[in-house]
Structures are given as structure tokens and as C-alpha cells.
Amino acid sequence: MSETIYAIERLAPEHDLGDFDCGQDYYNAWLARHAEEANARGTAAVYLLVRRRDGIAPRVCGYFAICPTMVRSDGAPRQIERAMMQQAPGWLIAKLALDRSLRGGTWGRELLREAIEEIVRSADRGGGQVIVVDAENERVFDWYRAQGFLGTGIDNLRLFMKVSTARKYLNP
């Protein structure tokens, strides 16, 4: 009986992206058609959740893409705005998707945790005060809020978390 191992890996040419299916064509297509270019050009760092089993080809079961961004304080929640410069360096979780086969458990939170860990490491090296994510709909917005992100309270789907809060999230 072979052991199943899941690992986070930086996107590399040897990864087969074609079998990934999160149930949303936009995210599937972005991974298959644009992730390698974004990674190679430096517009986003793309990380994969890869399942490995003895004798079976590795399978991509999730991914996230992060990139640096600038965040305007006047668009942030009040709790975050007070601690920010007018424009602050930050990090965008540009994409985060999980294969249908792993839904219903803790893998979504684990993938988000990995994204936050990578952002905190990057912020420690190069700066960054805020993490931003744009939820695609209300259900996803509510999920990110349950993970500690803050909405603005106005009618949009952008959420925020201070990098200092992220450090606490990682080390409760």
C-alpha cells in the first residue's frame, strides 16, 4: 500500500496542470493557461498543493498565487486604516483554488495558511503591511471573514488583514 503525501511546491515546468478541477472554469483556465507565464514573468508567485503517491503521477490538488501590491488606506477597514500610511505596501492573494476532490475538509484553510505563511516570510524580507484578497462572491467573502479577514463594510468584496495579525494567525 502506497503512502499519500501532500506538499506545497513552487510552480515548475514539470508540474502537470491539466487535470486540476476546482469546479470553476475561470480558476481552472487561469492555472492551465496563465500561471506559468505569471510565475516566469514575476507578476505572481504561484504555489501548488501536490499529491504524491508511489507509482502514480503527481497531481495538482490546489494552488495559490500571490503578488505585491499597493493598498490605499482610504479603501481599508477602519481598524486597518488607522495603522497605515496613505499608501502602504501590501500583498495580494490573487488566486486560491482547491480541487473538488478535497472539498469539505480543512484543505482550504490549510492552503490559505500556506499562502499567509509565504506572504509573512516575503514581508519579513521585503516589507508589506497589509494582505488583500478579492472574493469572487458573498459565499467566498464570508469564508475569508471566518478566517480573520476584514471587509470594508461597504458594498464590495475586498477583504484585508494586517501582516501583524497574520503573524498571530500563524502562531496563536
What pLDDT does 159 receive? 95
What pLDDT does 75 receive? 81
* Domain spans, the chain: 4-170
Which residue spans within the chain are E strands per DSSP?
4-10, 45-53, 56-72, 87-98, 130-134, 150-151, 158-162
pLDDT band, residue 1 (cuts 50/70/90): low
Superfamily the domain 4-170 falls into: Gcn5-related N-acetyltransferase (GNAT) (3.40.630.30)
State the residue for C-alpha cell 475569508. Answer: 144
Whole-number Å distance between alpha carbons of 110 and 60 = 15
Of residues 70 and 169, more confidently modeled: 70
Distance of alpha carbon 39 from the chain centroid: 14
Question: pLDDT tens for residues 81-134?
Answer: 777 778 889 999 999 999 999 988 899 999 999 999 999 999 999 889 999 999
Supply the pTM of this predicted model: 0.91
Instruction: Output the average pLDDT for the chain.
Output: 91
45 CB-near residues (< 8 Å, 6+ apart):
10, 39, 65, 66, 67, 118
Rg (C-alpha) for the chain, rounded Å, is 16
In the chain, the amino acid numbered 121 is R
